[in-house]
Amino acid sequence: MRRVREERPEARVEIFPAPGIPEVQEGDDIGELIATAVPDLRAGDILVVTSKISSKAEGRVRRGVSRNEAITAETQRVVARRGETVIAQTTHGFVMAAAGVDASNTEPGTVVLLPVDPDASAVAIRRSIRERLGVPVGVIISDTFGRPWRNGQTDLAIGVAGVTPALDYRGLSDDHGNALEVTLTAVADEFAAAGDLVKGKLAQTPVAVIRGMAEYTTEEDGPGIRELVRQSEEDMFRYGSRDVVFTRRTIREFSDEPVDGAKVRRAVDAAIAAPAPHHTTPWRFVLLESAEIREKLLDAMREAWIADLRGDGFSEESITRRVKRGDVLRAAPYLAVPCLVMDGSHTYRDDRRNAAEREMFVVATGAGVQNFLVQLAVEGLGSAWVSSTMFCREVVREVLDLPPAWDPMGAVAIGRPAAPPRDRAPRNAADFIVTR
């Protein structure tokens, strides 16, 4: 990433295709093919190279494998799916249609995968051209991407060598004196899109030359494409429609980083969107933002658990082990206590129907808590729902000064995950389905 310090001088840009590049085969030297096609390349020229020819040269063509099988193999995670269309994150970190697998412009019965390391592909092409022509050029490996909120596709950079990937305008001021706080220009993507204008999709011209932008080339190969791949913790739209529910995993280890209460309140917004009987609102969330209150509650609950366990005849060793399970609550920098209220419930003449009425409200509370946990994960927060408060409800109501009708339904430990969740055995939906 390059910091912009002054206005770029007025420039004249020329973009033209590299003619006469033959059909690429495995083992071909792309740099040699380009140097032969455009022997008059100049220092500072920028080459935009379609990723497919790099893939073919590197043996990334698969024969006898269906496109869907190839997509599955190249997918790190599915972001969204609609019909046969799959938006997936690749092992490179790119989020794109079909994980970059392409069945066009290749022999029938074959599919082309992205290069294993597009930055390395760009470096190899750049060095090959310099060896043959003696001129330093910039190289961008490009591929086609769709974009959220926009129809149509455009080419973006997936590999970069010898080109500044991004320009950082932050800290500068515009003509009106306003500070530019978040302006980061993806220069490599702009070059990729510009090159595609002359390459085309059907013209069999996989390489474009951009001339007049030498100021954006660099002597070194540079940092590669990573500057333009947004890290997951910074991605506000990381989770697609398919995997948003699966973001929720029980987290038991938290960092010391404070929790933004606004994020928790947005999770409450999601919680109260859950279904409930009789058009009621059976959820209440007590947010424990005070460390003093959290400690007071957990101490009181601990004493109540110990007294109950001793009364049940458990050994001191067993009591210590069981009480230790509550440590996840002490480790969290933020706690929430979801409560059930029966406002709006119906009263019947027999206990069976009254019990069923309460069960409906308990189920609705569980749905609300599930929404709460999922939204916390979307906000980048880890959580663990612990049933502890259900075993000492009177103590919880007293410490937190809650109305008698509020029924604590566990406690949720919240914080930034300090470690990934533990692996769990895979579950097959078919094992949980009965069809009649």
Is the confidence at residue 217, as pLDDT, over 90? Answer: yes
Query: Domain extents for the chain?
Result: 2-234, 245-432
Query: What is the rounded distance in angstroms from the CA atom of residue 162 to the CA atom of residue 54?
Result: 17
pLDDT averaged over the chain? 90
Q: Which CATH number does the domain 2-234 belong to among 3.40.50.620, 3.40.50.300, 3.10.580.10, 3.30.1330.100?
A: 3.30.1330.100
State the DSSP string of 371-421. Answer: HHHHHHHHTT-EEEEE-GGGGSHHHHHHHHT--TT-EE--EEEEE-BSSPP
Query: What is the rounded distance in angstroms from the CA atom of residue 55 to the CA atom of residue 76?
Result: 19
Q: Predicted confidence band at 204 (pLDDT cuts at 50, 70, 90)?
A: confident
Q: In the prediction, which pLDDT does 223 show?
A: 92
CB 332 within 8 A of CB 250: no
Mean pLDDT of 115-121: 97
Is the confidence at residue 202, as pLDDT, over 60? Answer: no
Q: In the prediction, which pLDDT does 407 show?
A: 97
Provide the percentage of residues in the chain whose pLDDT is more than 70: 92
Q: In the prediction, which pLDDT does 195 show?
A: 96
How remote is the C-alpha of 130 from its chain's centroid? Answer: 38
Query: What is the rounded distance in angstroms from the CA atom of residue 138 to the CA atom of residue 125?
Result: 9
Is the confidence at residue 238, as pLDDT, over 80? Answer: no
Q: Predicted confidence band at 224 (pLDDT cuts at 50, 70, 90)?
A: very high
Q: Predicted confidence band at 419 (pLDDT cuts at 50, 70, 90)?
A: confident
Mean pLDDT of 370-385: 94
Q: What is the pLDDT of residues 119-170, one digit of tens each?
A: 999 999 999 999 999 999 999 999 999 988 889 999 999 999 999 999 876 5
Mean pLDDT of 407-428: 91
Question: What are the residues whose beta carbons fall under 8 Å from the beta carbon of 70, sequence distance 6 or more?
Answer: 62, 99, 101, 111, 113
What architecture does CATH give domain 245-432?
A: 3-Layer(aba) Sandwich (3.40)
Is the confidence at residue 431, as pLDDT, over 80? Answer: yes
Q: In the prediction, which pLDDT does 73 show?
A: 93
